[in-house]
């Protein structure tokens, strides 16, 4: 099995073989932080198959183009009703993400930004529907580049939120120059509420996503969020350095 396919930002501290699977473990001070199982058949390559993370670090779990979500996912998803009219059934989120978002949202409002959730928790089925819809509308190359495959989206954890903004009675989202100051403010203040900007500019080679100023990710507390944001890091870099 090609260990070389392990993303460069992860350090391998132990490798063991278990039938058709191969397990790679990331440990710190002797305790398991993250375990990844590879399956050589998936996608025709040695693709990451599974992960585990200890409960004390549960908000640092890594989901990206290479790391799939392990189902069943243990996050408790709570109801949240977005004022954004087009957001019908995917504004729920993980319970502590919800609590932090409530405080962050109030702070944004007090600073003149009427922000809302455009999209948060998505079931795997919903991610599948979104993927297929965009594939039909924009083509397979576009969808591969811009949308996470079902099972590989942070939105399926309930820890990610896409933010939109109401400005002069109009909802704005995505790339829009009228949102420039808001995105700047969001980036500058999200760490105080335990969120990081997950796909920043300049890190596209690692994230394998284009810059997304609207996508924030809850990491559990503001100390961790600050050590990522203040040092212009992303989650992959933080995990590789800290663990
Ligand atoms: Zn998103």
Per-position pLDDT tens, the chain of length 243: 333 344 444 444 444 444 434 455 555 444 444 555 444 443 333 333 333 333 335 788 888 887 777 666 778 899 999 988 675 568 999 989 999 999 999 999 999 999 999 999 998 899 999 899 999 999 999 998 888 999 889 999 999 999 999 999 999 999 999 999 999 999 999 999 999 999 999 999 888 899 999 999 999 888 889 999 999 999 988 877 765
In sequence order, what are the residues at sequence separation of 6 or more whose Cβ sits closer than 8 angstroms to the Cβ of residue 25?
13, 14, 15, 16, 32, 34, 35, 36
212 noted as active-site residue = yes
CB 23 within 8 A of CB 37: yes
| H-state helical runs in 59-209 | 95-110, 124-138, 140-146, 180-189, 204-207
Quick one: CA dihedral 118, 119, 125, 130, positive or negative?
A: positive
Alpha carbon of 36 to ligand 1 centroid (Å): 24
Q: What is the pTM of this model?
A: 0.78
Pick the catalytic residue: 212, 223, 236, 241? 212
Alpha carbon of 188 to ligand 1 centroid (Å): 18
Alpha carbon of 119 to ligand 1 centroid (Å): 7
């Amino acid at each position: 099995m090609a260990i070389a396919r392990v993303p460069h930002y992860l350090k391998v501290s132990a490798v063991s073989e278990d039938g058709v699977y191969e397990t790679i473990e990331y440990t710190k001070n002797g305790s398991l932080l993250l375990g990844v199982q590879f399956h050589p058949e998936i996608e025709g390559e040695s693709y990451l198959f599974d992960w585990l993370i200890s409960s004390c670090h549960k908000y640092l779990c890594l989901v990206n183009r290479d790391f799939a979500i392990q189902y069943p996912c243990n996050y408790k998803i709570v109801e949240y009703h977005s004022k954004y009219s087009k957001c019908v059934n995917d504004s729920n989120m993980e319970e502590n993400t919800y609590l932090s978002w409530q405080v962050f949202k109030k702070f944004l409002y007090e600073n003149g930004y009427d922000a809302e959730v455009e999209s948060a928790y998505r079931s795997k089925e919903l991610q599948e529907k979104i993927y297929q819809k965009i594939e039909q509308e924009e083509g397979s190359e576009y969808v591969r580049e811009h949308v996470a495959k079902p099972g590989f989206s942070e939105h399926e954890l309930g820890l990610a939120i896409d933010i939109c903004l109401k400005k002069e009675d109009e909802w704005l989202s995505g790339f829009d120059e009228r949102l420039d100051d808001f995105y700047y403010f969001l980036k500058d203040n999200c760490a105080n509420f335990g969120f990081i900007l997950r796909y920043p500019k300049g890190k596209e080679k690692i994230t394998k996503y284009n810059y997304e100023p609207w996508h924030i990710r809850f990491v559990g507390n503001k100390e961790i969020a600050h050590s990522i944001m203040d040092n212009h890091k992303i989650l992959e870099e933080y995990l590789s350095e800290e663990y």
